[in-house]
Every structure is written in structure tokens, then in C-alpha cells.
Structure 1
Amino acid sequence: MNPESLIASAAINIGLAIFILTLFSILKKQPSNDPIYFPRRLSESQRQSQSQSPSHRRDENRSALSLRRFLPSVSWISRAFRVSEDEILQTNGLDALIIIRLFKFGIKFFVVCSLVGLLILLPVNYSGDGLTAISHHSLDSFTISNISPGSNRLWVHFSCLWFISLYGVYLLYKEYNEILAKRIQQLLNIRHQPNQFTVLVREIPFCSQHKSRGCCVEKFFSKHHPCAYHSYQILYDGKEFKELLNQAKSIEKRIEDLRRRSVVKKHNQTPLLLNPSKEDSVKLSLYEENLEELHHKIHQLQCEDMLKEKELPVAFVTFKSRLGAALVAQSQQHSNPVLWITDAAPEPRDVSWRNLAIPHRVLPLCNFGVIVAASLLTIFFAIPVTAVQGIAKFEKLKKWFPPAMAVQLIPGLSSIITGYLPSAVLKGFIYIVPFAMLGMAKLAGCISKSKEEIKACNMVFYFLVGNVFFWSLLSGSLIDEIGESFTHPKDFPSHLASAVSAQADFFLTYILTDGLSGFSLEILQPGLLCWDAIKSCTYGRGKEKTPYLYSLPYYRIIPLVSLSVLIGIVYAVVAPLLLPFLIGYFLLGYAVFINQIEDVYETVYETCGQFWPCIHHYILIAIILMQITMIGIFGLKSKPAASISTIPLLVLTLMFNEYCKMRFLPTFNLLSIQNAKEFDELDEKCNQVEFNYENASTAYCPPCLRPLNCMESGSSCTAPLVSSSSF
């Protein structure tokens, strides 16, 4: 890739980012776009039912037609940097804060790395004389490729490698320690949540005497945990319930639309509307009869005799104390380990009810199927990645595909194609990957939505590392050196290792595209804008707009940002010119996602920081890859002493990883006995013990036992129609 292509890529990405952010700052001021850009605030104000809240007063000011509404501004950026961590933690939870801490980690890490790279490594690389031995690339004079083999200048890179590695490990330890402290504090703040008193029990035996599994739960825990056990909630196969509930919700929506339409017609008082209102009244009575019939069917299915036939070997068991629940969740209950399997219960809104119906013995097959599907997707994705590298290596591609030379007939088009197009095409292909992986993760049988997203995070990250990083490296090297590889196959490993520095320009354009264009499109939300415009012009005309409220997509944000961290760490010593661009990447991402977390995305569950161990693992993989890469480069540069001296650093990093697994990871997975006891003692002082476990005993009502929403009151009752513990 030549300098013109890099400049073209930077110019296009910067221009698009400025245009998109300018457009966003204008569209955000339009009250009609509030359901897109303020759905979280609208939803909260609707729940609070406060017509004169501060947010409503802001809306009144914004609704006034003025020139200011159509002028771009950057006030949202300054507002984002004024939001404190405590505010995010209080209003959005620790999981949302972890996203912000990831961006802050990137800023802190790459600022220091940039200083080291620009002040020390860049002058050393630029003053080298190794370019005569290798092919010329646009960034080679600023990379380690410009250092001649055997030069003592490589000891500067060796020293910087040790410093960057140790600094990264220090930051990781500090982050892990601080987030662990915040997790314990957050668990204390939300200690009244039902999941701290509840255990999920699977593979419950069937009682042939009472023809039920519920009595087995009662007998087992009353016998083995008599002081701590309180009650249980058995689960049921709810397929029939779900079908009837969906039909009832559909009819409720139609009834609501008809009632709203009749109110509008009543206010209009137009004679021409009298006949349609009679038709609407007939439809309304018919729908009400159908709804009454569905209610009757649901109540029939919810009787005790019918429920016993649909029992699943799964139950939520509630205890009188957190200590009792923690002891049960962390211990083996039966001599046969595949019976009475216990696990800490997720919070009620996080439960994946669909997956709880999957037999526990089938879960390994589900996991295997998901791994196979993800592997096939990864292999298939190698085709577009190779095609992208073919575009990036346009000069080599012309030799193998002569018709491509026609591109040069249009001035400047070649620079745009080789500079901007490869990273844009790759980003477009990558966009669909997280959604596909989340769909696969939902088939793996996870007990909660958060575990589905954590699993999807892992699959997406390894997919990106395998395809976007390694395969881009390999395919780019094969295209660049394909002739020499065939004529001198023994030199293939050397050519492959040298591709790390040769691909620096491609990854620079990828960071520019992912950061500038990607984050700008994230905040603009063009898909929702188009859908809202279509909806407003068709069937949604005249209807009140509902907020487009979605949960924070951890499975999409964390892996993509972690890949950029990996690219930056691997190239920190190899090509330090890339590092300043990463600082801009993380600064823009920080501002964008503060805005999205505060105004757009909803908090649908709280794991108290269980995503951080994944992020820690990803960053540690990046540091290890950097060290392995430098061991290979030192070897290629005829500096075996530096390669050998890097091995202890690699060993220290692996030992640090094992230490973190022992020191931090267990506390992120479970509530410790010590903390459980302390929380119980605090409840005893506040006289809240009985209230907490009584609340927990009714919190895990299966969806099939919940009555339909009462349309007159608009409230939904979550108390079970039939209490399972009474069987």
C-alpha cells in the first residue's frame, strides 16, 4: 500500500466521521427523533409518570422552533467527558461501567505506549538502514523492518518490549483489583435482589409415589438444609402457554388500537365517522370474546393436575439467608454428581426460561454443535478476508489478474480502492458476525441471557483474532510473497514472519475505519432512522411513537474493541506510528458509548462485572502475542540473544495469568461465604431478613404462571396463580 492510499483512507474516514457526527448533532435536537436518540430517558420518564421532570422541561425547550436546533454542536462530547464513574455505576450498573473502563484502559495504555514509541522507537527505526534488504512498503521506514539484521539498535526494541509488557500487566492487575472492589460494593448495594437467596437446581428425580418432582425438592432440602431452606418454585414446559399468551397479547394490542381509534373519533365528532365506529364496536366485542376464551384456556392449563404433567426436572429453591444459598450453590448435593446439580441463580430478569427446559445431559451436545457451527462460519469467512487482502495488495493482484489494471485509468481511484475499500468491506462483513454468534450462543443452553452474551463475546473475539488478525496476516503475506514462496518453499516461515510489519498499513486503515466510521455510525443509528421514517410514512402515521429501547450489546462492543487493543499491542513495538491513531480511536469510542449508555441503551440485567474477566483474558492474549511476535522478529533479525531474553518475560506473563485466575476469577463467579455472611448480618441489623427471602420466593414465577396484563389498569401481576410449594 502506497502513501497515497493511506492518505486517501484517512481523508475518507475523517470526512465521513465529521459529516456523520455533524448530522447526528443536528438530528439529536429534533424532538421527533427522541425515540431514537433518547429512548432510555423517555422510558424512565414514562415509568416514573412525572410530567414535569427535568427531562420533560428540556423537551419543552427543545420543541421550540429556532435556528439553534439546526446548527451542529459538540456539546454531547463535553457532556460525555463530564460524566463520572459513580454516576454510570449508580444509574446503569457495573456492567455498563466496564465498557467505559475498557476505553479508559485503552487511553491510559496507549498514551504511554505512544510516548515510548514516538520518542524512542520511531527515531531509532527511521535512522536505520535495513530497507535495502526488503521490499518497500509505505510504513517500513518507521517500523522495525528498517533495522538491519544483527544491529544493536534491536536492544532498544527489547527494552521497550519489557517496559510495555510490564506496564500492561500492571494496568491489568490494577483494573482487576479495582473492579473486584466495585463488584463487592455493588453486590452490597443490590443485596436485596432475589438471586442472592436463590439456587437453581437441575436434574431433580421424579417421585413415583406422588407423581411429581416438587415433593422431591421439598423433602430433599427440608432434610439436608432444614435451617436454611424456605421454599421452591418448580418449572414447567410452557410451549402451550407461550402460544396462548402470544395470541392473547396480539388480541390485546388490537383491542387497544380500536379503543384508541374510538377515542379519536369521539373527539372529532364527524358524521362520516359514525358508521366506522359501529364496525369498530362489533370488532371490539368479538375480540373481547376471543380474549375471554383464551383466558379460560390459560386458567385450565394452570390447574394443578395439568401442571403436574408438564413439570421439568428444574426448580428455583429459595433459602432464608444468603449464606445458606451460597453453601448450597457451591457444594455437591448428592453422591451421584449428575443428580441435584446446583448453581447460583441469575437475577429474575436475566433468566433464559427457554433454555431451562433443555435436559442437562443434552447440554454437551448443544455446546459441541455451537462449536462446530462457529468453526464453519470462521472457515467460510476466510474467503472474503482473502478477497479483501487481494484488493489491498493491488500491485501484486495486477500481475495475477491483468484486467484489474483498468482501475488505473481513472485518476485517484486506485488509491481509494487500495486504501479505503479493503477495510470498509472487511468492516461490513464483520458487522453481521456478532449477531450470528449470539444466535448460536442462544442454542448452547445457557441458563441466563448474560451467560449467552459472555459466550457470544468469546466466540466473536476468537473469530476476529483468527480471521481478521491472523488470516489477514497470512493471506496478505501469501499474496505479497506468493512467487517467492513457490520458488523457495524453505523460506516460507521467514516470509510469513516478516508479514507482521508489512501488514501495518492495512491494520492502520482498519483502525481508522472501525473507529471513525464505525463509532460515528453507532451513534447516528442510520438503520433506526430509516425504519422510523418508513414507519411514520406508512402504518405508523398518526400513532404515538414508542421508544426504540434495546439492551447494551456487550457481545458486539467488547470483542471489536478488544481486537483493536490486540492490534495496537502487537504493533506497539513493531510499528509505533499506529499508536496515536489508537488514542483517537479510544477517545471517540469513550464519548460515543457514554452517550449511548446514558441516553440510548437500557440496562436489562446486572451481573456485577462478570464481563471483566473476559476482557482481562483478551488483553492478556494480546500481550502474549506481542511477546511471541517479537521473539520471532528478533530471530529473523539475527539477534538470538534478544529472543532468548524475551522468553522469561513470556513466562512471567503466563504466571501472572495463573495468579489472576486464583486471586480474582473465583470471586467474579460466585458470592463468597464471607460476603454472604456479612450481608446477612447487615440485614439482621436493619430487620430486613424476612422481607428479602419472602420476596425472593415469589420472584422466579415462570412466564407460564403469570396472569395476563390487566388492560384497564395497565399493570402486570407477577405473582403465580398456583403456588408450586403447596403441592
Structure 2
Amino acid sequence: MDLSALWTSAGINIAVCLILFSLYSILRKQPSHVTVYFGRRLSIGTRKINSLCLDRFVPSASWIVKAWKTTEEDILAIGGLDSVVFVRIIIFSLRIFSIATVTCVFIVLPVNYQGKVIGHKEIAYESLEVFTILNVQEGSKWLWTHCLALYIITSSACILLYFEYKSITKMRLAHVTGSPLNPSHFTLVVRAIPWSPEESYSDSVRNFFMKYHESSYLSHQMVYRSGKVQKLMSNAEKMCRILKDASIEQNHKPGLFHCGFCGAHGDSFKILSHESESVRGKSSLIDNGLGESKKKVCAAAFIFFKTRYAAVITSHVLHSSNPMLWVTQLAPEPHDVYWSNLWIPYGQLWIRKMATLLAAIAFMLVFLLPVTVVQGMTHANKLQQTLPFLKGPLEKKFIGQLLTGYLPSVVLIVAFYTVPPIMMLISSLEGSISRSGRKKSACFKILYFTIWNVFVMNVFTGTIIDQFSVFTKFDSVKGLPAQLASAIPAQAKFFMTYVLSSGWASLACELMQLYPLLCNSIRKYIFRMKDWAISTMSFPYHTEIPRLLLFGFIGFTCSILVPLILPFLLVYFTLAYFIYRNQIINVYITKYECGGHFWPLVHNTVIFSLVMMQIIALGVFGLKKSPISSGFTIPLVIFTILFNQYCRQRFHPVFKNHVAEILIDMDREDEKCGRTEEIYQQLHAAYCQSPSTSPDSSTAGSHHHEEDSIQDPENVMPGKEPGQVSPSWSIASTFGAPVPK
């Protein structure tokens, strides 16, 4: 691949980005798309629809200015600590790759270009390998510049990581102290409650904790597996909400809403509104009338304690000589509870984890097929041999550049769209009792999956395809390490086009919200549904964090080998800074908090990327016969590992456990201010397993990932704060309404 093919790919992606950015700046001003681009602001009732004017149809960059002016305090107030951590990932990437770009472009790139291994051509037709370390001769005295760049990048990354970890740790502690009435601080989840023929699960829990934790135990709440009646009630309540909104719309536009089959007017439906508590009360009466036969008590319960400190201490001790009984852990936040997995017997969890691990590995192996196809597309000569009918089109310059430079990365991106939902499904089956835990597990899996398939397997398959003839000769097998050591710079063309296609273009698609926009258009213009039918989404951390970390991994490992990739990465992180801030401000809402738990994953991935960069550089220095550079690289690897161990000892425990002195001070402050009774009353109502949140309902009970989709069951209506439940409507009034004739 030469520079002209790279500019072709860059030109296509720049044109796509400019078109989508212009369309976004126009569509966001249209009232018909306000639910797509201002979902969060609509949910709190702060978005005003502009009147008809010419400015609505003229592209503008006002959203960029707004994203730039928004402070970190505003992001914290809008999206919570997790949003701040996500933005900090982008800022860290911008800082470190700015340093890497300046260092490598002005020091390393000229050394690579002035090498004499590969012959030079006219600049427009220069091969990309000319700008890589492959062009540096063996034993060259200029290899010290690569070692110097390695030291600058590693030192800068470690310094920035230290200050970021320290700052985010302080914000996490402030997050804990800033939420004194968080019910999860007082609550445990106990699982594997032993069955007894003499007493119920509830009596067993009460007797056990009264006996062994009498001074701190407050009360408990059993987890039920709801029956079909509650499922029907939940579905009926959803229908009632739709009919209620339809009747309100009919009052504004009489005679325009008709029943689809019989032509009756919409006002035939008479639905009375009630408070959500009344519906909950009616459902409880129904449950009491049906008795326990319609509800199955699970071997799990929420245990409420009088103090935060007592809850934390109780969660960390063994409660039985059999570690598989009376297993406790701190409860998630009420909105974070994933009710379906609370039913899973604790003894099944290790089987599920092993099964999901095997499923993830199997999926990674199956995905080798599209990776191999993509790498085959990047080699024009191999394509001509495999598919002779492409020989003619590939001889045409533009088509050849398009097929080998741009199309492979697009094919891989399309294939990768199947990864997040499959990994989320696997993580759901794993058994996490919190939605945030499920997302974090999916984030781990997607990150490892993308690094393995995008980086490792593309390097290996590309090398095998390019050097297949080498493997057919026995005496060439000894040169296999040399071939693999030079594989990364040899695949520079693929990584650059992947950054352009999966990076720049995907950010433009994220800004446009193509899938919500399509759903909104279908609902409005085909099904004639109104804006209230679409609810807001939570931020997809499990897909976006792995994407950022993957590009960071590619940037680190390719920095001194392929310096030309760094400016493209810098542009990507700059676009990401503005686009994701805009999405946090306007689009996504926060339904629950992880407390910054994603940052340790980010830190570990950056350290892994640095070590991989150093090991690859060590191998290249060995192949280039530069013992001095190799000798100076070894201490750098040791220093990076020691730095990681220090951070794990200094900061990571704060993310794993709560700080006792902070919890005790908060308990004493509550007792001093007389808030204990108020807290106890809130605890009893916090973890309410009502029909609308019942795990057996069609919303929370299925493995559909409601917080990541457009049709979120936790509807946030205009004028309500995020997390508020929309009013429930009486079911009996629906069935009592006159039947259309």
C-alpha cells in the first residue's frame, strides 16, 4: 500500500465525517428529532423547541462550542463519576499521544525515512514501509533515537497515569462521602440460604442474623420469583400507559384518532390515572389473595443493617463452616439490581463462569474467519491468485486502492457489530446480580476480544498470508521469529485504515445516532407514534471504553515502529473529546453509578500496552543487531512493572473496598444529626420488587439489555428527573372501559 492509497482512504473517511457532521448540526435543530438528540435534556424538562427559522436549516458548530465550554463539574453533575472517568480516559489519551506524536514524528520518522533498506520513489507513490522501522538498516547507529522515544513515551505515560489514578481515587472517595443516604451502603445480598423443612427462608434469615449479628441487624427482605399474574399485570400496565397517552392526544385533536379495525373514536377509552403507590397496593392485595402459590421464594434476600460499617464488615466474613452457604456481598444500588440473576442458585455460578468463558473463547475462534478474509483482501496479489475475475478491476488504480485499502477495515467493522450484543448476553448468563457488573464483565470480554482479533490475529494472519511460501520450506522455519518481529510494521497499512474507518467514521455515526434516528423516523412516519414513545438510553460504556483502549493499544505498540499512525490517532481522540462530551450533555442519562470502577481496567490496559510496546521494541532491536538499545530497554520493562505494582498497592484497594474511617465518620454524623430513623424508613422501600421492576416481567426478567437499547422499560418522561418511574395507570379502569361498537 502506498501513500496515494492511504490518502484515498483518508479522503473517503473525511468526506463521510464532514457530511455526517453537517447533517447532525441540521437534524438536531428539527423538532421531530428532539427525542433522538436531546433525550437527557427532555427527561428533565429543560429542552425548548425553537420556532421555525432559517437558522434551523444551516449547519453550525454551536454544539462543539457547548461541549468545549462544559466544565468537569458540569459533567459530574450531569453524568456522574462514571462519565467523568470516561472523559478522563480521552484526556489522558490526548495528552500522551500528543507527546508521542511530537516525539516520533520529529525524531523517529525522519530516521525511518532516511533508511536505505527499501528504495525510494516519488513521494506520492512511496510505500508505507518506507516510513516504518523496517527501512532502518541493521546495526544502524540511529536506533538510539527509537530507544530515546521509548523512554519519553513510557515516562510520560507513567507520570500521567499516576496523577490520573490519584485524582480519580479522590473523586471516588468524595463520591462515597457525598451520598450519605445511599441504601446500598447499609444493605447486603445473602445467597445460598440453607433450606429447612421446619421454617421458611424468611424465618431462617431472621433467626440467623438475629443470633449472630443481633446488635447490627435491622431487617431483611426476601427475593421472590414472581408468577405469571404479575407478568400479565406488568404488560397490562404498559398498555395502559400507551392508551392513556393516546387518550390525552385525542383530547387535543378530537376525531383524528380512530380504532384501527372498527373506526370508533379514541375517546371510547376512559382511563383513570392513579398514583404508582395505589397500583403497588392493589398488586400487593392480589398477591396476598393468590398466596405464595403464585410466588416462589428464592434462596436470596436483602439484609439491612443499622450502620454502614456493620454492613461492610459482615460482607467480608464467612458466616458458615461451609463457604457455599450464607454467602454475602454488598448490595448494588436499587436501580442497579439485576433481578433475574438473583434467582440463580449460588452453586451454579462457578459452572456458569466456566461455561461463559468457554463460550467467549469459542466465539473468538469462530471470528478468525472474517479476520482471515479481511487480511486476504489487503493483499492484491493474493486476491488475484485466489479470485482471478478480480484481476481486471484490481489493475485499475482507484478500484485497487479502494478494495485493498478501505474495504477491508469496513468489512471488519461490520463484523464487529455482532460482538457487543453477544458478549452482553454471555455476561448476563454469567450470573452478575448488578447491571453495572454485567456491563463491566462485557467490557472486559469485548476489550480482550478486540485486542486479540484486531491486533494479534491480524498481525499473525497477515504475516502468514504474506509469507506463506516461507512456511513451505523447512530451512526457512528458523527465520520465523524474524518474520513475526517485523509483522507489526508490515501491517501498518491495515492499522492506519482501521483507525480511519473504525475511528473517525464510527465517531461520526455515534454523533448521528443512526439507529435511534431510524427508529424515531419509523415510529413517527410509519406507525404515527408520538415523541413520548421513545425513552432515553444510558451510556454504552461496555462498547466505547474498549474502543478507546484498543486505539490506545495500537498507538503505543506502533508508536516507534509506525510513527505515521500517531497523527491519525490524535485526530481521533480530539474528535472523541467533543463528540462524547456532547452525547453526555444531551443524549444519555445516568440510571446507576459504578463509582469509577472502570478506571482500574483502563490503568491495567495502558500498562499492558506499554509493556507490549517495550517487548516488541526489544525484539526489533535484537533483529536490527543493536545491543545497546536492547540493553537500555530491559530496565524500562522492569520499571513499568514495578510502577504498576506500586499503583495496585496505593490506589486499587480503594476501588475494591470501602474505607472504614470514612464509613464510621458518616455513621457518627448521621447519629449526631438524628437521621438514623429517616435512613431506616428509606431502606425498607429502597429495594422494592414491584410488578414494574419484577424480574419475571417482560422488562427486567428477560436477558434483553434494556439500558442499552432504544426501548428502555424504565421510561423517563419529559419533566421528570432521570430514574423517576412514570405514573402507573389503573388496570381495572381499562377493562371497565366501554367496548367500541
TM-score by length of 2: 0.88
- Structure-2 residue corresponding to 1:146: 135
Q: Which amino acid aligns with 1:679?
A: M
Distance 1:204 1:640, change over 3 A: same
CA shift for structure 1 position 404: 2.2
What's the CA shift string for 1:218-277, capped at 9, x where partnerless? 122222222221111111122435522333225424642663466357x4599999x955
CA shift for structure 1 position 284: 6.1
- Structure-2 residue corresponding to 1:722: none
Aligned partner of residue 696 in structure 1, secondary structure: helix
Distance in 2, Cα, partners of 1:367 & 1:493: 36
Contact 1:327 1:673 in 2 (8 A): no
Segment of structure 1 superposing worse, 219-228 or 3-12? 219-228
Aligned partner of residue 321 in structure 2, secondary structure: coil
Aligned partner of residue 153 in structure 1, secondary structure: helix
1:14-33 map, 5 Å: 14-33=14-33
- Structure-2 residue corresponding to 1:50: none
CA shift for structure 1 position 387: 0.9
2:649 to 656, 662, 679: 662
- Structure-2 residue corresponding to 1:331: 317
CA shift for structure 1 position 618: 1.5
1:498-647 map, 5 Å: 498-540=486-528, 543-647=530-634
Aligned partner of residue 420 in structure 1, secondary structure: helix
Contact 1:255 1:284 in 2 (8 A): no
Distance in 1, Cα, partners of 2:692 & 2:39: 30
CA shift for structure 1 position 574: 1.0
Contact 1:193 1:696 in 2 (8 A): no
Aligned partner of residue 430 in structure 2, secondary structure: coil
Aligned partner of residue 44 in structure 2, secondary structure: helix
Distance 1:356 1:66, change over 3 A: same
2:240 to 244, 247, 252: 252
CA shift for structure 1 position 311: 1.6
1:193 to 157, 165, 182: 182
TM-score by length of 1: 0.89
Distance in 2, Cα, partners of 1:500 & 1:271: 64
2:443 to 448, 457, 463: 457
2:377 to 391, 394, 407: 391
CA shift for structure 1 position 333: 2.1
Q: Which amino acid aligns with 1:26?
A: I
Distance 1:492 1:403, change over 3 A: farther
Aligned partner of residue 313 in structure 1, secondary structure: strand
Matched, 1:161 2:147: no
CA shift for structure 1 position 642: 2.9
1:18-167 map, 5 Å: 18-45=18-45, 55-56=47-48, 59=49, 62-63=50-51, 65-131=52-118, 138-167=127-156
2:659 to 672, 681, 698: 672
Structure having the higher helix fraction is 1
Aligned partner of residue 304 in structure 2, secondary structure: strand
Q: Which amino acid aligns with 2:24?
A: F
CA shift for structure 1 position 332: 2.0
Contact 1:326 1:672 in 2 (8 A): no
Distance in 2, Cα, partners of 1:554 & 1:376: 24
Distance in 1, Cα, partners of 2:28 & 2:542: 26
Contact 1:202 1:339 in 2 (8 A): yes
Contact 1:442 1:452 in 2 (8 A): yes
Distance 1:651 1:239, change over 3 A: farther
What's the CA shift string for 1:462-508, capped at 9, x where partnerless? 10111111111111111211122323222222112211111112111
Distance in 1, Cα, partners of 2:726 & 2:250: 19
1:182-581 map, 5 Å: 182-210=171-199, 212-253=200-241, 255-256=243-244, 259-260=247-248, 263=251, 267-268=254-255, 276-277=263-264, 281=268, 299-302=285-288, 305-306=291-292, 310-408=296-394, 410-487=396-473, 488-540=476-528, 543-581=530-568
Distance in 2, Cα, partners of 1:611 & 1:272: 50
Gaps of 5+ in 2: 698-713, 715-724, 730-741
Aligned partner of residue 324 in structure 2, secondary structure: coil
Distance in 2, Cα, partners of 1:644 & 1:109: 25
Contact 1:258 1:280 in 2 (8 A): no
Distance in 2, Cα, partners of 1:399 & 1:308: 67
Contact 2:188 2:303 in 1 (8 A): yes
Contact 1:138 1:505 in 2 (8 A): no
Contact 1:176 1:664 in 2 (8 A): yes
Aligned partner of residue 328 in structure 2, secondary structure: strand
Distance in 2, Cα, partners of 1:126 & 1:293: 73
Identity %, equivalent residues: 35
Segment of structure 1 superposing worse, 154-163 or 1-10? 154-163
What's the CA shift string for 1:417-463, capped at 9, x where partnerless? 11211111111111221121111111110010000000000000110
Segment of structure 1 superposing worse, 601-610 or 368-377? 368-377
Distance in 1, Cα, partners of 2:155 & 2:128: 27
Distance in 1, Cα, partners of 2:454 & 2:126: 21
CA shift for structure 1 position 530: 2.1
Contact 2:283 2:691 in 1 (8 A): no
Distance in 1, Cα, partners of 2:441 & 2:247: 44
Distance 1:97 1:302, change over 3 A: farther
Segment of structure 1 superposing worse, 387-396 or 6-15? 387-396
Distance in 1, Cα, partners of 2:693 & 2:31: 37
Distance in 2, Cα, partners of 1:104 & 1:702: 40
Q: Which amino acid aligns with 2:6?
A: L
Distance 1:271 1:200, change over 3 A: closer
Q: Which amino acid aligns with 1:35?
A: T
Gaps of 5+ in 1: 46-52, 718-727
Distance in 2, Cα, partners of 1:270 & 1:567: 56
1:670-709 map, 5 Å: 670-704=657-691
Contact 1:3 1:138 in 2 (8 A): yes
Contact 1:93 1:603 in 2 (8 A): yes
Q: Which amino acid aligns with 2:483?
A: H
Q: Which amino acid aligns with 1:34?
A: V
- Structure-1 residue corresponding to 2:10: 10
Distance in 1, Cα, partners of 2:256 & 2:309: 65
- Structure-1 residue corresponding to 2:721: none
